[in-house]
């Protein structure tokens, strides 16, 4: 059931009190795109900027020391949330997209025999496996990696409801060098069978990359226990700031790879002829890091932990069921994704017959309801459902039953308004 007590916490999120274009109040159902920030996150960032703003790992003065401590404390907090063995397995990035591209560039350099090594040999005859459920950020970099190296891109299949089809696991074969897949679809909310995919990859010695953007927003992960080699997450999906993400790398794999970005702090020795680099994470963090954003991310995790992750999971199961039911109950509206709520997040995409998703979004906005419209940076899975784009309603930690009811009522008026009934 939806937790009414959590819905009352909306007051902790300043933006949710803003007056909408229409309707009595703002009904925010776009958490999967960008989760709203509680005031505690903004206060933590401001406190850091007022009392500890300095260059990390570059000075011995008071503010530099405070800034360095704040950044490393935040790293440890994020690492714990992801289920890394230590903060040393987490590198800061500009976001999940930045992290995936960072990793793709590193693998490309490794595949091209970085400094004569062959730690990640990839070329003609080799394969990289993905899925049609991926966000473009976990698809396009691997397309480019294959184009540069001559490897072949392959993919697992999807069931009619958009879940990864385990009957297609034989796509992962001895030629497969890497498998990249989402932990949870940003279109259907379907949670992937991580254990089965990782097991299939390990049987053939393939490396694994997990896009944990959506899943990390709904509770602590266990990346080490899941056995994935790399993973990414982004703060703004977890009630934190934009501009900061994390790249998790299992040390045994990551420490074999070259850094793809170069500059200050990540070097040990520089001469006019060559340079040597620190081990990761320092060696993977050239330049100035997003320190205040990292501090805000840690504060967001503390805020959500204070609400209780078990409580939040139970609440969001209720939100998922309510959103699926709301979409399924409206005539002329087709649910895209699983109709059941097992292994599913409160991310619900839908197609309104005869009405373009952008028109749907504008109509709902006029009723005070904020949703996402478009292809959600995931065109292949939309093609799987034989649509170009969709509307998407997604719930979060303070979504209430009243939010869902306003959404359902507004959605039921879309087709009559456009005269397509």
Q: What is the distance between the alpha carbons of residues 295 and 28, in angstroms, rounded to a whole number?
A: 25
Q: Which helix (H) or strand (E) holds 148?
A: helix 140-149
391 sits in which H/E element: strand 390-394
| Cβ atoms of 56 and 64 closer than 8 Å | yes
Measure the CA–CA gap between 274 and 340, rounded to whole angstroms.
57
Residue with tokens 């899975």: 381
Cis-peptide into 281, omega within 30 deg = yes
**What are the residues whose beta carbons fall under 8 Å from the beta carbon of 5, sequence distance 6 or more?**
none
| Residue 213: active-site member | no
Kindly give, in sequence order, each residue whose CB lies less than 8 Å from that of residue 162, ignoring residues fewer than 6 positions away: 133, 185, 187, 188, 190, 336, 337, 338, 381, 384, 385
Residue listed under structure tokens 């490396």? 207
Strands 347-352 and 267-270 turn out to be unpaired
> In sequence order, what are the residues at sequence separation of 6 or more whose Cβ sits closer than 8 angstroms to the Cβ of residue 297?
74, 77, 78, 235, 238, 240, 241, 244
Task: Retrieve residue 270's tokens.
Answer: 């520089």
Give the tokens for residue 220.
Answer: 């602590």
Tell me the C-alpha distance between 109 and 119, whole Å.
10
Residues assigned a catalytic role: 377
């Amino acid at each position: 059931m939806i937790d009414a007590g959590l819905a009352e916490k909306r007051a902790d999120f300043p933006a949710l009190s803003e007056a909408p274009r229409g309707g009595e109040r703002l009904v925010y159902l776009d958490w999967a795109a960008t989760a709203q920030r509680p005031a505690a996150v903004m206060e933590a960032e401001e406190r850091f900027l007022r009392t500890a703003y300095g260059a990390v790992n570059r000075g011995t003065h008071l503010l530099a020391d405070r800034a360095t401590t704040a950044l490393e404390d935040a790293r440890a907090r994020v690492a714990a949330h992801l289920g890394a063995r230590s903060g040393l397995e987490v590198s800061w990035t500009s976001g999940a997209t930045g992290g995936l591209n960072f990793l793709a560039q590193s693998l490309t350099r490794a595949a091209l025999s970085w400094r004569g090594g062959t730690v990640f040999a990839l070329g003609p005859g080799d394969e990289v496996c993905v899925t049609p459920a991926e966000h473009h950020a976990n698809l396009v970099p691997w397309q480019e990696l294959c184009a540069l190296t001559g490897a072949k891109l392959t993919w697992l299949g999807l069931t009619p409801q958009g879940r990864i089809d385990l009957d297609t696991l034989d796509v992962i074969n001895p030629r497969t060098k890497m498998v990249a897949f989402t932990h949870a679809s940003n279109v259907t909310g379907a949670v992937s069978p991580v254990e089965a995919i990782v097991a299939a990859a390990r049987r053939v010695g393939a490396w694994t990359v997990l896009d944990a953007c959506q899943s990390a927003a709904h509770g602590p992960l266990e990346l080490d226990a899941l056995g994935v080699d790399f993973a990414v997450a982004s703060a703004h999906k977890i009630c934190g700031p934009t501009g900061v993400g994390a790249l998790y790398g299992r040390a045994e794999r990551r420490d074999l790879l070259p850094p793809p970005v170069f500059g200050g702090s990540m070097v040990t020795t520089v001469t006019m002829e060559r340079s040597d680099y620190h081990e990761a994470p320092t060696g993977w963090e050239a330049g100035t890091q997003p320190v205040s954003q990292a501090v805000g991310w840690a504060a967001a995790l503390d805020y959500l932990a204070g609400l209780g992750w078990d409580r939040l999971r139970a609440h969001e199961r209720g939100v998922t069921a309510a959103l699926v039911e709301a979409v399924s109950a409206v005539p002329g509206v087709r649910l895209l994704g699983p109709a059941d709520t097992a292994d599913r997040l409160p991310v619900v995409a839908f197609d309104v017959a005869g009405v373009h998703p952008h028109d749907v979004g504008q109509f709902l906005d006029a009723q005070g309801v904020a949703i996402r419209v478009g292809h959600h940076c995931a065109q292949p899975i939309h093609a799987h459902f034989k649509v170009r784009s969709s509307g998407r309603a997604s719930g979060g930690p303070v979504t209430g039953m009243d939010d869902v009811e306003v959404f359902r009522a507004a959605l039921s008026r879309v087709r009559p308004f456009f005269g397509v009934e």
